[in-house]
Structure formats: structure tokens, C-alpha cells
Chains A and B, each alone.
Chain A
């Protein structure tokens, strides 16, 4: 329990028809700049840093995949909420 903050976890399903793709990964890394907590995304036995576009892409989270979001730190609740929204968002890529 670093900094006396308990880890917060939430399971989210990827809503975007293209999966957790470049645009979502970029938005996520940009959003993380406003938080201090540590956030990771877990799929199967792969755990990646929400601050790395590359790792997020390599997670290969296709539409409908369940992802466990894990956050630890003072602002983890707010961060997890934003990550949750980004993953679930069903944005349309073209048009």
C-alpha cells in the first residue's frame, strides 16, 4: 500500500469498434498527465502502464475485451473514472 492509498480496481469492456486503438491510447496517455497515481491495465496475464502508448497498443484489446483497470495513489478514483470512460467510449473513427 504505497502512500497509504489502497489500490482501486474496476473491470471495463472495450466499447470502441476498433478496439483500444491509437486514438484512445493517445487520449489516455494525455489524460494521465493530469494525475499522479499509478494506473495499469490488465488483460489476461499482461499488465501495462496507462502512460505508455506502445504498451497500450500492444495490449491488443479488441472490441468487447474485458480489461481490469488498477489504480493506486491519491487521485486514483478520479483517474479510474476517466480511464473507464475512454475505454468504454464508442467513438466513430471516420465521419
Chain B
């Protein structure tokens, strides 16, 4: 530990954990150049050729530097699969919009190269702003990275980036980290990343996972709040970053780091085993939540016994037209075949009209969470709904398919859905199509009214799946993304537990399977009570599966029942938290670190 000055503040920030594990070390802030500080001046007509030449040689030097970095990544380098992004950057430097565009601006506007270049960068990035697709939109940052590189050369800023001289135990803090910076770091010296920008698909995230370095992104302004040399903890599993932690916190996180390391080693073993309680009295099916078919392999390798929630929205997002029946069929068939004989629970379109296809002309809603979305949208646009149902029923021939209807709030909607299903089967029969007649139908219980009438809905379906994220949001009237109220969002609110119990009792009374998808299902702390309430299947983020299986294999149903009984006697969430967290840390101190702060 370094000597500390009194202005050091101890604080923590929550971002998005994008690469697991705990990193503890000293901050190295990597600053970025902003285009605002570049010199701007008008040039004389006779200066134009020289200015253009200055720009050309800066681009040439930048490209050469990128090529050198690119060539330093050989076959054995952990980032070799991602080296293509450096090729992309090299091509961007030569791209006519960027290269010719800047030269034209120098000549016609008589601006110096730095000014002309920043203008072009701005123009190009604002063109990206209009793109709806999140992944493609993020590529605007690549323009920043290359533009910045050229700007530095133009401005004669020769100091090499700090990434070359990272001392041991470094944790990199930056507004954004370019792929070329990431590619140059000395892996042994870097213990973590804490980045302002980005989500799970940013290149920093992808590269951090490949390098197996803990990383948290989406921290918004961490790079402006800290200084090089300060101590920091980066928890890439929970997304928590602690700056200037006290010795006790560091000690706790060292333990957690050790737990994580050991846990990683035993991880896959537990993934492969069934989730049977220690006394052998109960087996829970553990499934994965996925969005893309490509996630199936990760799910399977972590021990998923099928898919408990296959979100289908991505098929509809970021495009002008609607996906055809055949296109959807192909996707569903692949998911089903890959998982056979394990089940794949396909959730029908769960989206608001504003999100799909501009040409559908849905009106703007002031409160989309409670507006025309999910089953409501599908029932008002039966053409979209029928196409999806046909694709699912046809694909169902190829595996074990379950159909999950989101946002049901009353019986009428469920009856209407079943009527449409009947029509769809009729139409498929008429068309001579092969399809599965007996697909299991379930309601995604996520609206409080559906919980209250669960006994009524239970007569019409084969299974229930509790979607906790939305259910908690609707039941507690809390918008999770509203920073002013999200502290009230609590998974263990006595009301939430009572709602879950109401669904499991209604399901059990008719012998229905009750599963849970949503973040609540993947958090070990909640597992004893979910088992105690009789949940049959837990569907979660693939990465949580081994940990949850391990816990289930170490607990007895008697304990689950007792903890559930005690929790239902308690009157507020805080008491329930300390009951469950206390129990877990007492019984499994080595396996589960529970942050009780």
C-alpha cells in the first residue's frame, strides 16, 4: 500500500461486469485526446499542398504503426482472434470518406489539417448516430481511435501511450480503450480494466474476456474521478469498482479473488452434474437464458440442461422489414436441434411497437413499459404473431419445444392466444406443412394481475415461468433504470416472495411445472428460498449455472424449508437479506462471498 494523502476519497461505482474475476491494483489512467483541443487556423491557398502532404504523411505513419502492432500479434497471442480489428483500423485510415474527405476539406475550406480532420471525424460519427443497431452504432468509436492517432502525429505529440510502460499490478482506467492500446498491454502487469464507455459487445469487453482480465465497463465518468497511483478494486463479476478501498475491504476482496480463482477451476465439473439437493430429495432443472443461437454452446459448456428463455426480439430489431416465417423457422430449428432432447422455451415477441420496423407506424407512447407491447402488440398485429407461431410450431418437430407467452395480464388475452394458435394449426394443416401439434404452452408470469389470477390461468396452460425482472418492477412500481428510485428495487421484498409463492401454489395445485427466469434465479442467495417455494426449473445467465448447481448440490431440502418459513415470518427485505446472506456465508464461507455492506 502506498502512503495515502488525506484527499483520497473512498467510493464505489457500479458499472457492467463484462469479464469475470476480481482485480486489485494501482490505477493507471490512460487519457484520450479530445478533438476540442486541436489547433484551428485558416491557411493560405499556397499552403494547401504542403498541408495535404502533412496530413498524408501522418496517415502513412499511423498506418505503419498499426501494421507493426498487428504484426506483433502472432498465432499464440491470446488476442489473435481479434487482430482483425486492427486491419479494420488500417483500412479506415485509407477509406475515401476519411482520407479523401479530409484532404478535400483542407483544400476547399482552407483549414489546417487538424481542423479539417476533426470536422470529418465529427461528420462521420454523426452519420453513425442515426444507426439503430447497437453493435454497428458502436463502430463510431473506431473512427475516434484512428482519428486520434493521426491527430497526435499531426500535433507532434510523440509521447508513447502509457500502455507501453505499465508497472506491475496495474488496473487500467480510461474513458475508452482502443483495440490497439489493448493489444499492446503486457498482460502479466494488468490486473483489471475500469472503463467509462461501452457495454458487453464493446471491443474492450471482448478482448478482456479473451485475455481473462477482470473488466467493468459503462462506468460513465470513472476516468475523471480517479488519479494514477490510487488503489482500486475491479470486480468483473458484479460490475462493482471500489476506489481507494480501506484495508478491510481489500482483505475481503483478496478472499473473494481466491474464491473466484479456485471456483474457476472447479467450475466446469459442477456444470456437468445434475442439480440434486444433498439429501437427494429434489432435482431442479437448470437452464439458460439466451438471445442468439450462438450462445447455445456457451450454455451447454456451463451445464445448461436446455434453454429456459429464448428471447426472439433480436430477430425483429434493427431492420426495416419483418423476419419471414422461413427465416424464423431456421433459427428456432437450430436452437431446438442443438438442445435435443432438452427443452427450448421460446418466448414470443416481447417488444413494444416503437422498437420494430419504422414502417409499422405505431404511435409514440409516454409509458411504453405499460403500453402496447409483447402479447398486446401480437394480438393487435396477428399477422406478425401468426408468422412467428407458424415458424415455432414447424420448428418444434425438431426438438423439445415449449411456447412462452409474455405479459399476459388477464384470461381474455390467454384465450385469444389459444384461439390464434388453433387458427395457425389449421392454416398449417391446410398448407400441408409438417408441424408439432402438442407444443407445451406457458404463461410468462410478470404482471402482478397474472399472479393474482394464477389459479385461473393455471387451468389453461401447461406451465408457468416467473419473469422476475418485470414482475418486481411492476409490483413495486420501480423503474430499474431510474437512478432516483432504483435503490427501492429489491428481489427479497416480502411482497415479491409472496407473489412467487402464490404462483407456485397455483401451479402445484394443478400439477403444473413452475420455472423462473430472470436475474433472481441466478443469484445463489435466493436459491434456498426458491427451492423451498417449490420452483422446478431455474433459468439464468449461462455463467451463473455452475455456481448455482454447486450450491444446490450442497444444501438439504429441510434447510430450504426452514429458511423459507423464517423468511415469511419477517417483515422487511433487510431482515430477509441478512437471514439468507448470513446463512450462506455461515455454511459456505469458502464458496460464496456475500457482500453484506
Residues of A bordering B, CB below 8 Å: 13, 17-19, 21-23, 25-27, 29-30, 44, 49, 52-55, 57-58, 60, 62-66, 92-95
One digit per residue, 1 when the CB lies within 8 angstroms of any chain A CB and 0 when it does not, for chain B 182-213 equals 00000000000000000000000010010000
A63 to chain B minimum Cβ distance, whole angstroms, is 7
Q: Output the nearest chain A residue to B327 by Cβ-Cβ distance.
A: A64
A62 touches which of B85, B124, B128, B318 (Cβ 8 Å): B318
* A35 shortest CB reach to chain B, Å: 16
Chain B interface residues toward A at CB < 8 A: 84-85, 87-88, 91-92, 95-98, 124, 127-128, 131-133, 135-136, 139, 142-143, 206, 209, 292-294, 297-298, 314-315, 317-321, 323, 327
The 7 A-B pairs at the shortest CB distance, nearest first, are namely A62-B318, A60-B131, A26-B88, A54-B95, A53-B91, A54-B97, A22-B88
B132 in contact with A64 (CB, 8 Å): no
A23: nearest residue on chain B (CB-CB)?
B84
CB neighbours (8 Å) of A13 from chain B are: 327
Q: List 10 A-B contacts (CB under 8 A).
A: A13-B327, A17-B294, A19-B135, A54-B98, A57-B139, A60-B132, A64-B319, A64-B321, A64-B323, A64-B327
Beyond known contacts A19-B135, A22-B85: 16 more, CB 8 A cutoff: A17-B292, A17-B293, A17-B294, A18-B135, A19-B136, A21-B135, A22-B88, A52-B97, A54-B95, A57-B139, A60-B131, A62-B317, A62-B319, A64-B327, A65-B320, A95-B297
A62–B298 Cα distance when bound, in Å, is 23
**How many inter-chain residue pairs (CB < 8 Å) link A and B?**
83
- Give the CA-CA distance A55 to B97 in the complex, in Å: 8
B318 touches A95 (CB 8 A): no
Nearest B residue to A22 by beta-carbon distance? B88
Taking a contact as CB atoms under 8 Å apart, the answer to whether A52 and B298 are in contact is no
- Distance of B194 from chain A, by nearest CB (Å): 22
Whether B292 contacts A53 by the Cβ 8 Å rule is no
Interface centre among A29, A57, A63, A93 (most CB of B within 10 A): A57
Beta-carbon contact of B133 and A53 below 8 Å: no
CB distance from B410 to the nearest CB of A (A): 33
By a CB distance below 8 angstroms, the chain A residues around B206 are: 93-94
> Measured between alpha carbons, how far is A64 from B88 in the docked complex, in Å?
23
CB neighbours (8 Å) of A64 from chain B are: 315, 319, 321, 323, 327
Q: How far is the CB of A80 from chain B (nearest CB, A)?
A: 21
- Contacting pair B136 A21 (CB below 8 A): yes
CB-CB under 8 A from A95, the residues of chain B are 297-298
- Which A residues lie within 8 Å of B98 (CB)? 54
Inter-chain contact A63/B136, CB cutoff 8 Å: no
Contacts of B124 in A (CB 8 A): 54
CA distance A58 to B128 in the complex (A): 6
Q: Which residues of B contact A26 (CB under 8 A)?
A: 84, 87-88, 91
**Nearest residue, chain B, Cβ from A66:** B321
**Chain B residues within an 8 Å CB radius of A65:** 319-321
Tell me the bound Cα distance from A64 to B320 in angstroms.
Answer: 10
Residues of B within 8 A of A19 (CB): 133, 135-136, 318
How distant is A44 from chain B, measured CB to nearest CB, in Å? Answer: 7
How far is it, in angstroms, between the C-alpha of A60 and the C-alpha of B318 when the chains are bound?
9
> Given A58-B131, A64-B319, does the pair A92, B327 have CB atoms closer than 8 Å?
no
Smallest CB separation, A65 vs chain B (Å): 6
Min CB gap A13→B, angstroms: 8
Bound CA span A57–B128, Å: 9
CB distance from B178 to the nearest CB of A (A): 13
Residues of A within 8 A of B292 (CB): 17
C-alpha gap A62/B317 in the complex (Å): 8
Contact in complex: A53, B92 (CB < 8 Å): yes
Q: How far is the CA of A93 from the CA of B206 in the complex (A)?
A: 9
- Contact partner of A22 among B97, B127, B142, B318, CB < 8 A? B142
Cβ distance A94 to chain B, nearest Cβ, rounded Å: 6
Which B residues lie within 8 Å of A60 (CB)?
131-133, 136, 318
